Structures are given as structure tokens and as C-alpha cells.
Amino acid sequence: MPTKYIFFTGGVVSSVGKGVTAAAIGRTLKERGFAVTAQKLDPYLNVDPGTMSPYQHGEVYVLDDGAETDLDLGHYERFMDVRLNRVCNTTTGQIYAEIISKERRGDFLGGTIQVIPHITNEIKRRITLVAKTTNAEIVLVEVGGTVGDIESQPFLESLRQLRRELGRENTMYIHVTWLPYIGATGELKTKPTQHSVSELRSIGINPDMIIARSDYPVDRSLLDKISLYCDVDRRAVVPMTTTPVLYEVPLLLEEAGVADFILERLGLEGRRQPDWNLWRRLVAQVRREKPKVKIALVGKYVELHDAYMSVREALKHAALHLGVEVEILWIHATDLERGRSLEILEEAHGILVPGGFGSRGIEGKILAARYARTHKVPYLGLCLGMQLMVVEFARYVFNDERANSTEFDRTTPYPVIDLLPEQQQITEMGGTMRLGLYPCQLKPGTKAAQAYQETLVQERHRHRFEFNNAYREIFENAGMVFSGLSPDGRLVEIAELADHPFMLGTQFHPEFLSRPTRPHPLFKAFVKAACEYAGVTVQPFEMEAI
């Protein structure tokens, strides 16, 4: 069959939930037997979000091939349980860099380079490339931002052209919009949605479906009104009320008949009956009252929880399958440095230090690692969290507070974390780290090997600095176990303490491979250790039970 494309646009405000909506719709189509994938089109001029502050963009999500991408790709992978690649995230920066590079080489034979057709042709090429590289039958394409943004116009024009080129039967437009609530009158308003659709239609795109997002129940009369004024089939105006359970969204869309309408619109028939048994049980498990364990997440961007989206979800996945509920205690690392929030740290049954860059808050994270080591509190360090666990251990071993990573102190007498020789001369920041999937050989009998129940695993990386092997023997003699190494033995991937209930750090980011139906083994082991520390009995979730 020809590849089918579903294009998602956003209206009224940004952060309306296009990514989750697209991911959830992808899941409903996958349940019907189709090979589905997704792509995010980001209108910013950065080549990728790798050099952007999390305050600007939330977390940077890393794929198997090392692509640094938008956090919505995390939603796609978690909901649809797929593995995406770098063509699944395209930015304006990438488009313009490609076109300018071709112009400099003379590929355009002296022609004038214009947004139409040169930029739009490159956008269309990258959209159709997704199906070729993934063999997907249905490609869901989300345009970042909001209709009306000047940055989005080339992308929207490309989508308009694609309907003509691919055929109406192979393309579908879904507009995800927001219904604002006026507190003074107690009303939801459809007028902004009408204006948004009018803006879309003015550039030649008529939405086939409208997902009307709201924090309040949407009356049928409002849906009738949207259908009438926006000229959209009444069946295709779907209310989507905010739910506290993220993974309930596919079930809500299923109940609304969204997938059936999409297949009908694209001329397809489902290959099998969707089986939502496990998914419904997962949602019921989320809603069920469960004993709580408190996990302190010590970071430098904790004001913006989206900066740790995958970490948060991985903790929830693990807790869900252990029959407990994780309460995350968000602690700003700089507060610990100033003597604040220590009482919150003392409440925790587990301490997690995630990845990050820059020197701000480093000493606070080291303090958290020291507290975990000395008080025997379960600890999980991710990337930088592992490196600072090593720094803290070095300060204990050498009895010298000057031990450090050369990322933060180039003159430290104990550079226990340092650049590899091949990284020494790199000057450009973007895309030059150790990125993507790398193998890790596990040492038998360690906590890491016990968690994985495997000898060789593949994990996603995003870092520049590594453990300095000059200190490997000294640390091993002092009680640190290097339980995961690269197959050639050159790179330390996992470190753990032998005389601690659970103190383990990974050079990689295990959170990127956690799924709601398949929690990551290290997160599961960490949360289980936190339960033991808290005296909470785990009640494992039975995947096979109906």
C-alpha cells in the first residue's frame, strides 16, 4: 500500500499536547496492525536542541543513532514502543544548512535560492524520507509551534503541497487546538479555535479532524459549533479533556472512535482487533492506591519538570510494575550548596542525580552523593550523576576536596573524570559528544548484572567526559566496582559501591529506553532498593494477567 501521512498542527497556544496526541493516535493505529512511525518538525533555527538550555526546550532526547532531538520523540517511542532515527526530527536550522551548503557547492547552477520551491522541497524530501528509512506504512508528522507563527509557514506550505503530490487519499490533517475557559462566566470558548482554523484554511489546509483540548468537560453543543464553523465532519471533532494519567490518552481516543475515523478517511481497514487489556490494566494500576516511596531528584533545572521528562517517566514505569507510587522530591542542587533543602533530602528513600552540563549546582550534587554514601541511602547517578558519584568517592579516598572532573576544574590534582584524548582538540559544542547506542559488558555477580539478567547490553549515551582509567585500580582497592565496561575494556560504563545497599552510576542514560509496559531494569532495581530502605513491600504487576 502507498504510505499514508497524518499531519498534526497546533492552534491557539503552544504546549497544547500535540506530541502526546500524535503518540497516542500512533498507538491506536499500531494496535490495529499497522507499522507506524512519527516525525517532529521544529521551526527553530538551531540545528538541533543539543546546545539549547533545558529552560528553553525541556530535555534533549537521544536516539539510537546519536541524534539529539525534541522531547516529543520520547513520547512517540514510549507510547508506540518504536525505535526512531535522526530523520524523525527535522529543524529549520537543518533545512537551511543543507540548502546553503548545496548553494555553496554550486548544486543550483547559479539559480536564485528561494523559500519556495527550494526550502519547501527540502522539507518535503525529509518528510518522505522517514517512510523510506523506517518502512513505516503510516507516518505521523507533527509541526512544532502554533498556526500563525511566521517560523512555521514554510512547513505548513510544504504540507499543503504534499496533499497535491501524494493524493488526498494518502494524507490527512489533524488540528490540535485549545478551548480557553473564562472563569468569570464559567464558559469554554470556541472562537480562538475558529480563528486558528481560519488561519490554516487561508494557507490552503482544511483540517480533516480537530482535537479540542480543554481542562474542563466539553459540551456537545460546543463540538457541534466547532464542526459547523470550521467545516469539519462532526465525528471528527474530538474533545480531549486533560487527564492526570498520561497513558490514559490512547484509551480516551479509542473510546472517541478516532482510529476508526482515520482508517476510514485514509481508505484502510484494520488488520486485527485492538487489544487494550494490558493498557487498561496499566492505567488502572496507576489510579490504584499504592504505598509511596520518596525519591529525591537533585538537579539544576528542577523548576521545569520537562527538563527531566524521561527520568520522571522511567521512575513511574518502575514504580508501576513494583506496585508502589513514586513521589518525586524536586531539590535544586544550588539549594544544597547553600545549606537549604537538606531536610527534604533526609526524607528521601532514594536519591537520583540526573545528567547535566555546566558547573552550577555541582557541589550540591556531590553533597547529595556523599549523603547517599554515608547514610546508605539508595542512589542512582545518570551520566553526570555517575561522574559526581566518582568525584565524591575520590574525595573520600584521597581525603582531599580538590578531587574533581576537569570539566569543572582543569587544575585539579585528582582528575578522576577527564576528556578522552580524541576529545581534547574539539572546539565545536554541537553533536561532538559520545552520542547514541554503545555496547556495555556486564561483570557477573554485580548489582548491575543482577538487574539486567544479561551479560551484554546496548545503551544510549550523551556526554563528553569519561572516567579516568589512571584511577581504576585505586578505586577498585577502595571498594568501587566497575560493573559495566565497553567490550574492549577501555571505557567505564557502570560503577557501583560494593559495601552499599544500592549505589550505582551509569555513564549512559537508561531513562531513554524505559517503556510503560517494559520498565528499565536499573530503574526497577533502584526503586526496589528504595522500597526496601523505606520498609515498603513491593507487589509486582503481573503483565500476563487479564
Write down the catalytic residue from 68, 511, 520, 531: 511
| Residue appearing with cell numbers 487498561 | 280
Nearest to 379 by CA among 298, 465, 491: 298
Which residues contact residue 272 at a Cβ distance below 8 angstroms, ignoring those fewer than 6 apart? 31, 32, 33
- Strands 480-485 and 492-497: what pairing? antiparallel
* 40 labeled part of a ligand binding site: no
The DSSP symbol for 169 reads G
| Residue appearing with cell numbers 472563569 | 183
Tally of CB atoms within 10 A around 420: 13
| pLDDT attached to residue 74 | 93
CA angle 209, 213, 215 (to 5 degrees): 160
Percent of the chain scored above 70 by pLDDT?
Answer: 97
Three-state secondary structure call for residue 520: coil
Among 14-18, 295-299, 415-419, 499-503, the minimum mean pLDDT is found in 14-18
pLDDT over threshold 60, residue 429: no
Output the nine-digit C-alpha cell for 523.
530503574
Which residues contact residue 28 at a Cβ distance below 8 angstroms, ignoring those fewer than 6 apart? 250, 253, 254, 258, 259, 274
The DSSP symbol for 518 reads B
| pLDDT attached to residue 310 | 95
* 476 labeled part of a ligand binding site: no
* 214 labeled part of a ligand binding site: no
pTM given for the model: 0.92
* Mean predicted confidence (pLDDT) in 472-476: 95
For residues 159 and 141, give the distance between their C-alpha atoms in angstroms, rounded to a whole number: 10
For residues 67 and 61, give the distance between their C-alpha atoms in angstroms, rounded to a whole number: 8
Tens-digit pLDDT profile for residues 327-337? 999 999 999 98
* 17 labeled part of a ligand binding site: yes
The pLDDT confidence band at residue 359, using thresholds 50, 70 and 90, is confident
CA–centroid distance for 440 within its chain: 22
* 107 labeled part of a ligand binding site: no
* 52 labeled part of a ligand binding site: no
* 55 labeled part of a ligand binding site: yes
Write down the catalytic residue from 157, 509, 520, 531: 509
For residue 440, which phi and psi values (nearest 5 degrees)? -140, 120
For residues 27 and 79, give the distance between their C-alpha atoms in angstroms, rounded to a whole number: 6
CB-based contact 18:176 (threshold 8 Å): yes
* 365 labeled part of a ligand binding site: no
CA–centroid distance for 455 within its chain: 27
Write down the catalytic residue from 383, 463, 496, 520: 383
* 142 labeled part of a ligand binding site: yes
Active site residue 531: no
Q: How far apart are the first and last CA of the chain?
A: 34
Tens-digit pLDDT profile for residues 118-143? 999 999 999 999 999 999 999 999 99
* 19 labeled part of a ligand binding site: yes
For residues 139 and 6, give the distance between their C-alpha atoms in angstroms, rounded to a whole number: 6
For residues 13 and 270, give the distance between their C-alpha atoms in angstroms, rounded to a whole number: 34
* 87 labeled part of a ligand binding site: no
Tens-digit pLDDT profile for residues 54-102? 767 788 999 999 999 989 999 999 999 999 999 999 999 999 999 999 9
* Mean predicted confidence (pLDDT) in 346-375: 93
* 48 labeled part of a ligand binding site: no
| Residue appearing with cell numbers 559495566 | 484
Active site residue 509: yes
Query: What does the mean pLDDT of the chain come to?
Result: 92
For residues 70 and 60, give the distance between their C-alpha atoms in angstroms, rounded to a whole number: 6
CA–centroid distance for 94 within its chain: 20
